[in-house]
Amino acid sequence: SYVVYLGGHSHGEEATQTDYDRVTQSHYDFLGSFMGSSDKAKAAIFYSYTRHINGFAATLEENEALQLSNHPKVISVFLNRARKLQTTRSWSFLGLENNEEEIPASSLWKKARLGEDVIIANLDT
């Protein structure tokens, strides 16, 4: 599979679900113009980047990726390589419980009010 990067979005910070749906449809239309139909594009695209970057991930042949990379609207096309899982214990390491356990009062989830008004990031490299 390949990731096709098309740059930024024209919608602003206050985008709606309709805006995001429009972006996804534009990805289908764009790839469909290369593949011959939007239906083929819908089958090929397995992820649309609709919020912060403009692009999509799709199952493509090498020649299709090369053809797309030559289009003036395309900034870059790169191979989407599978990565080997390096950890299976991130939740335990962070002191977080799985969904099947009752959440104890001393839990980080409880202390953070289950993430209410909090952005939690975990960079797992």
In the chain, % of residues over pLDDT 70: 77
Q: Could you report the per-residue pLDDT of 49-97, keeping only the tens digit for each?
A: 998 889 999 999 999 999 999 999 999 999 988 777 776 666 666 666 5
What is the average per-residue pLDDT within 23-48?
A: 93
In terms of pTM, does the model score above 0.75? no
In the chain, % of residues over pLDDT 90: 45
pLDDT of residue 96: 63
pLDDT of residue 79: 92
Cβ(41)–Cβ(32) below 8 Å: yes
Domain residue spans of the chain? 2-79, 84-125
pLDDT of residue 81: 82
pLDDT of residue 97: 59
What would be the CATH architecture of the domain defined by 2-79?
2-Layer Sandwich (3.30)
